[in-house]
Amino acid sequence: PHTKEELEKKGTIPTVKISGSRINQFLRQPDPKVAAVLLFGPDQGLVREWAEELVLTVVDDPADPFRVSVFTGADIKADPPCLVDEAAQLSMTGGRRVIWVHEATDGLSRIFESFFDNTGHDNLVIVEAGTLSPQSSLRKLFEKSSHGVSIGCYEDDAMELEAVVRETLGRHGLSPTAEARDYLVENLGSDRRVTRSELEKLALYALSGTANRDGAGSARGIGGSNGSNGRANPVGLEDVIACIGDSSAMSLDSIAYATASGDSRALDRAFERALMEGTSPIGILRAVGRHLQRIQMALGLVDGGATSDKAMAGLRPQVIFKFKSEFQTQMKHWQKNRLADALELITEAEIDCKTTGFPAQAGCHRALIRIAQAARTR
């Protein structure tokens, strides 16, 4: 089975090692021997982004009705022969075709087993699925087949997210300041499509003439081109907060602060909002874990002789103004040993979400409630 960490070690095709960079190479130029690609995982935005990249390796227009056929898993299950039939069908306008399957589940395993037994066609089947455990029959089938590839789509880590931030803003001639970059990396990343959307919104805001031009060094009114010195125009922290302050990033902040403050009602409200915005339970757990680690780091600075104000100022990204008072209060109420226990609970909850089959939303919420209860114990 392929976890994110195993992709570099084992590759997406058995006996072929594919590192992270080679995965990107595969997405740009798939092996012609591959008849079907399974994209699965908790980051559904990344699943869709990579699926779209694969479609564009075959056709110029994903909306071309003659060369792209789109089905749901339910469609395939209701008419099993249609998968093989579509894969064998020639395009009326010439060229290869794409069969694009959304919402696939293990219920399609036998149908795809028959497909692999009868493959040999020139067309490409792209399959999107949600989170599949290592025991998933569909995932195992794609991993074992010499004509299939299985690629896990997991939430961006800090390094990957920083690259997405730089690349997306860079297309508009923009570059985030260090504080803005740190804030974006801290608060985005649970879903690649949401991340891209927020960054595009930030770019439009920075280019619209509404961003500040004070000490944050914004990109106001620059029309999308680099500055006169040929350098990318900076986007500051104030621009980021003004633009995405009401977005999913702030929902994660609200969950983290409510949890660490022991405010169960605020936690429930923010938790429901984050789920409605498409944030994954694992993304929520990681956001709360990062927040607890920041409290831990601040307490370490205080132990070294810093005041609480200087300790907060020493964090990267810095605590934004609206949360400073609450963060300072949390520093007073949390001890290092209790923080360690809470972080262990976060780790255990993430493992359970990935391995036990217990509903991830329920497991995540239960862990946060337990931490909130601990926060109320002085």
What is the structure's pLDDT at 342? 95
Here the CATH number for the domain that contains residue 295 is 1.20.272.10
Here the CATH number for the domain that contains residue 109 is 3.40.50.300
- Beta carbons within 8 Å of 95's beta carbon, 6+ residues apart: 58, 59, 67
Quick one: DSSP state of residue 161? Answer: H
Domain boundary among 152, 171, 202: 152
Domain that holds residue 21: 4-152
What is the structure's pLDDT at 375? 93
Does 215 share its domain with 264?
A: no
Closest CA to 187 of 234, 257, 268, 235: 257
Tokens of 39: 């994209």
pLDDT along the chain (378 residues), means of 10: 42 41 85 92 88 96 94 94 93 91 95 90 92 88 91 84 93 92 79 87 82 46 48 84 67 90 93 84 90 93 90 82 88 92 93 82 95 88
Q: What is the pTM of this model?
A: 0.63
Helix axes 360-375, 248-261, angle to 10 degrees: 50
Q: Are 356 and 243 in contact (CB under 8 A)?
A: no
Does 13 share its domain with 94?
A: yes
C-alpha 151/C-alpha 130 separation (Å) is 12
List the Cα angle 343/344/346 in 5-degree steps. Answer: 65
Does 207 share its domain with 73?
A: no
Tokens of 85: 């039939």
Q: How far, rounded to the nearest angstrom, does the alpha carbon of residue 324 sit from its chain's CA centroid?
A: 27
Does 357 share its domain with 282?
A: yes
Does 288 share its domain with 231?
A: no
The residue to which tokens 């680099």 are assigned: 226
Does 232 share its domain with 306?
A: no
Domain boundary among 215, 244, 273: 244
What is the structure's pLDDT at 259? 96
Domain boundary among 152, 175, 205: 152
Does 57 share its domain with 80?
A: yes
What is the structure's pLDDT at 209? 60
Does 90 share its domain with 186?
A: no
What is the structure's pLDDT at 226? 54
What is the structure's pLDDT at 16? 35
Quick one: DSSP state of residue 129? Answer: E
Domain total for the chain? Answer: 3
Please give the backbone phi and psi of residue 187, each rounded to the nearest 5 degrees, phi first: -110, -15
Q: Are 59 and 95 in contact (CB under 8 A)?
A: yes
Quick one: DSSP state of residue 13? Answer: B
Measured over all CA atoms, what is the biggest interatomic distance in the chain, rounded to whole angstroms? 74
Please give the backbone phi and psi of residue 143, each rounded to the nearest 5 degrees, phi first: -70, -30
What is the structure's pLDDT at 340? 93
Q: What DSSP string runs through 329-374? A: HHHHH--HHHHHHHHHHHHHHHHHHHHT-S-HHHHHHHHHHHHHHH
Does 268 share its domain with 235?
A: no
What is the structure's pLDDT at 245? 56
- Beta carbons within 8 Å of 59's beta carbon, 6+ residues apart: 67, 68, 95, 96, 97, 98
Does 199 share its domain with 272?
A: no
Q: What DSSP string runs through 16-73? A: B---HHHHHHHHHS--TT--EEEEESS-HHHHHHHHHHHHTTT-S-TT-TTTEEEEEH
Closest CA to 345 of 364, 325, 323, 321: 364
Does 254 share its domain with 240?
A: no
Does 141 share its domain with 74?
A: yes
